[in-house]
């Protein structure tokens, strides 16, 4: 079978027509909303291990799902087991290369400095995020690692997708951790 006839790597998504993201703004908003729903679902699984509920996924330029991750720091005792890192690792394995050029990372919470650095180093094209993190966010809040003009690679940032849901999930988690006042 010729290479052009091979399906793209990853799992086909319902809207995958061979190009991602969709050209029209309304279609993009609908697709980003659906993807954030998938990331929120993944984030909810982190609650079982008392991990901060953050979920992430990587989508190829063809619109296929390449990697999924959720925070697993508590579960595995690994300080680097952030949702974004795990999704990027899985996407790289799926593609067979560390270069995620043209790919989109969707995450429920603005990435920290470590994750923002990994996004740049992996050559991710686009970051779609839910809630901003004014305390530790490194893609526009506290720092802007992914769009620093001194970097050799810059990332498009689309923020605030399902922001209220993403923010509520995080706030509820931390309120539960703190207990009654």
d(CA 100, CA 57): 12
| H/E stretch holding 91 | helix 83-95
**Alpha-carbon gap, residue 162 to 151, rounded angstroms:** 29
pLDDT tens for each residue of 47-79: 999 999 999 999 999 999 999 999 999 999 999
For Cα atoms 80, 84, 87, give the angle at the middle one, nearest 5 degrees.
105
Please check the confidence at residue 36 and state whether its pLDDT lies above 50.
yes
Q: Is 82 annotated as a binding residue?
A: yes
Nearest to 166 by CA among 3, 40, 5: 40
Q: Can you tell me the distance from the alpha carbon of 136 to that of 113, in angstroms, rounded to the nearest whole number? A: 8
Residue 166 labeled ligand binder? no
The pLDDT mean for the chain works out to 92
Give the catalytic positions in this structure: 84
CB 110 within 8 A of CB 137: yes
Residue 41 assigned as binding residue: no
Residue 8 has pLDDT above 80, yes or no: no
Which helix (H) or strand (E) segment holds residue 177: the answer is helix 163-178
Report, as an integer, the average pLDDT of 21-49.
94
Task: Say how far apart CA 45 and CA 176 lie, in whole Å.
Answer: 16
Band (pLDDT 50/70/90 cuts) for residue 5 is low
115: nearest Cα among 58, 160, 45? 58
């Amino acid at each position: 079978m010729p290479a052009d006839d091979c399906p793209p790597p990853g799992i086909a998504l319902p809207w995958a027509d061979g190009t991602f993201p969709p050209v029209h703004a309304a279609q993009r908003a609908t697709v980003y909303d659906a993807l954030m729903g998938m990331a929120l679902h993944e984030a909810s699984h982190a609650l079982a291990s008392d991990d901060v509920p953050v979920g992430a996924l990587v989508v190829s330029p063809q619109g296929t799902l390449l990697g999924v991750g959720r925070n697993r720091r508590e579960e595995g005792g690994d300080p680097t087991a952030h949702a974004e890192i795990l999704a990027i690792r899985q996407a790289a394995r799926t593609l067979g290369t560390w270069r995620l050029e043209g790919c989109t990372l969707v995450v429920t919470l603005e990435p920290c400095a470590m994750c923002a650095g990994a996004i740049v180093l992996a050559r991710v094209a686009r970051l779609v995020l839910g809630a901003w993190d004014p305390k530790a966010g490194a893609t526009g809040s506290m720092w802007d690692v992914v769009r620093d003009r001194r970097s050799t690679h810059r990332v498009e940032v689309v923020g605030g997708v399902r922001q209220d849901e993403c923010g509520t999930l995080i706030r509820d988690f931390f309120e539960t951790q703190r207990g009654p006042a």
